[in-house]
Structure 1
């Protein structure tokens, strides 16, 4: 083989590869690819999303009569299932002053602090999984709004003749949007589903799936468990409200699975840089394929 013949044989596949490889991917395909999130955009998105969620949640009509009737119905159902022990838990924990005060502050603060902390952790150390995990959280919260509208529900502490203790009112603790001076800023009859459970379970599963330190993974599982005890002990939710929160979270994971083709924790840990993204979008050959499968 002459030198010119060798160059000719090599040039043919390069030309073909270049022509085929430069076919750009569709916009939905590019949007589904993990990419490094932008800090300013994420801060703005989370702030606007939570503001919108709060606005819609509080705009749902406070159907007091229907909410109280629904609470009575939930209470009867739980009695039928043999799980109506919320009142016993509420009174038992309320008898231990330091414990119930701690739970009141837990209910008022950790719901936000831990969730934001997990988002920051994902952003910093798992950028390739961040967008999908955030979608789970947003979809979970969004579908909860439907529940607030279709099924207004009074929390146990507001039931007629329920004999529950409103622990924030009794112990004068600060911070709960559900009692005291702040109750007028929040819809009191949006107890189903419980987003304390939806968000805490999202945090717990994320930590358990992605943390590398065993005891941290255990803490991840304990967090939603402790939250379940807190929402019941403070008489803010029934057990079945927690089930509603779990169902909303299931919907959130389903949405992420449909959009990204995998659960967030199965996606690559690192987001590709601009150069790698460009290679991928224009069909970057074997190196691009290797990058897609690299954790």
Structure 2
């Protein structure tokens, strides 16, 4: 018999510290992984050839076409730089407040997804399309001097530029999308949940930050996260109870004295 672990709402301060520390550790480990530039560029060539073999190597065409529309590519650059964090944190807060019984299991999914991604960064360093050798990709952040991105410009030295596989922009956005679509009540919010990872996929390709196959890697990592959460809690996180209810009296037990004293009138 599968043992279902109790779902409960953790302390808010514990969650704040956990998320802050976890992200700091994730960033530290991700950026401490040896960049292995030559290997990352070789792997990018291999990915590009694999996509050409599969007939899906259209990222360069899409990248150049969207870059010709300045307002559109600027919007995508800021989308890439900001929503990845803002939406994920917002969904975590919403889960904590509105679905406390499902929070811990659902949070475990994204933490496990991110953890396995670190292994991918170490084992398979990968240059993003914008850094490939001899290809016609455009680094849209560099060209348009978009502020705030860790991908290019002066902030690039603070982040490992060869950690494109798997794409956590996709891993996190698909987690957000599934969570919103599964648990939100208004139809329009659920539709936004579906559209968010689709929009993210378009953005990461148009800005030349990822290949299609990086997105596949992100989804695979997310699958691992769901599997771990299922194994730990015994059910999918979205099928856990909304909240823990106070246990009632066991069947066949006497009612409390205050109620038992109300005897029926003959």
TM-score past 0.5 threshold: yes
Deviations 1:173-197 (A, max 9, x none): 1111111111001000000000000
Matches within 5 A, 1:146-225: 146-225=119-198
3-state SS of the aligned residue for 2:91?
Answer: helix
CA distance in 2, matches of 1:107, 1:285: 53
Matches within 5 A, 1:233-248: 233-248=206-221
Q: Unaligned 5+ residue runs, structure 2?
A: 253-266
CA distance in 2, matches of 1:269, 1:98: 42
Q: 1:271 Cα deviation (Å)? A: 3.4
> Equivalent residue for 1:98?
71
Question: Could you say which structure has the larger radius of gyration?
Answer: 1
Q: 1:55 Cα deviation (Å)? A: 0.4
Q: Cα distance 1:286–1:113, how it changes in 2: closer, same or farther (>3 A)?
A: farther
Q: 1:162 Cα deviation (Å)? A: 1.2
Could you say which structure has the higher helix fraction?
1
TM-score of the aligned structures, taking structure 1 as reference length: 0.83
CA distance in 2, matches of 1:125, 1:173: 36
Give the counterpart of 2:202 among 217, 223, 229: 229
Root-mean-square deviation (CA), in Å? 1.4
3-state SS of the aligned residue for 1:247?
Answer: helix
> Equivalent residue for 1:57?
30
Give the counterpart of 1:133 among 92, 106, 109: 106
TM-score of the aligned structures, taking structure 2 as reference length: 0.91
Deviations 1:250-290 (A, max 9, x none): 00000000000111100011134xxx3xx69xxx7459xxx
Deviations 1:225-253 (A, max 9, x none): 00000000000000000000000000000
Q: Unaligned 5+ residue runs, structure 1?
A: 1-28, 288-295
Q: Cα distance 1:266–1:159, how it changes in 2: closer, same or farther (>3 A)?
A: same
> Equivalent residue for 2:91?
118
CA distance in 2, matches of 1:44, 1:285: 38
Deviations 1:118-162 (A, max 9, x none): 000000000000000100000000000000000000000000011
